[in-house]
Chains A and B, each alone.
Chain A
């Protein structure tokens, strides 16, 4: 049981390049989330999904797109990377509504945009 995994662990991009971050969970969780962690700030929600085929915006969605084609995967896309998107990205999943259910986090993806 791997829990929540993220690919890649680290990536360097040039401004304007695109990339996709992959999150996978093997716990059959309905809910999945993407957060970003910046120095001096708390984790901030980018987008989330309440089930296969659904997505919704979080607190800081601009510049990102997401897709949940399969229940176990949640993809975060950057169409045209900007230096402001340099951050550590965490994926999480939960069984039920994020309000009262424990969220299980992945190990993070460190992204540097030059």
Chain B
């Protein structure tokens, strides 16, 4: 059974703090890693799709790195703002998996206090 772990489960930070969280996934048969941002009462929105070991992607104050050999990805948020409050999901795709099969972690819930 393929397992995707995200840590921490939840995180409370002050506005202006920088933060990061982890997504761990099986290192064998890696194909892709997705990050999504999910605000309460809204739909998950895509942040990044990462496929290459060592890849780093950036979108504004949010960036992500990928280590496929050791099976982890970090998501960083620089200078957190209250509007960054959301659950951040990662999803792993393994080589040979069915075409639609993203395996999601349970998410990291971020709360940013003003």
Residues of A within 8 A of B (CB): 4, 31, 33, 40-45, 48, 50, 56, 58-59, 90, 97-108
Contact = CB atoms under 8 A, between A and B. Distances in A.
Contacts of A50: 99-100
B93 interface: yes
Interface residues of B, number: 25
> B-side binding surface: helix, strand, loop or mixed?
loop
A44 B106 CA distance: 10
Nearest to B48: A102
B13 interface: no
14 contacts: A31-B99, A42-B104, A42-B107, A45-B100, A50-B100, A56-B100, A90-B43, A98-B99, A99-B99, A102-B46, A103-B46, A104-B46, A105-B44, A107-B43
B92 to A, nearest CB: 10
Interface string B66-91: 00000000000000000000000101
Please give me the 5 A-B residue pairs with the lowest Cβ-Cβ distance, nearest first: A48-B100, A42-B104, A105-B43, A102-B46, A43-B104
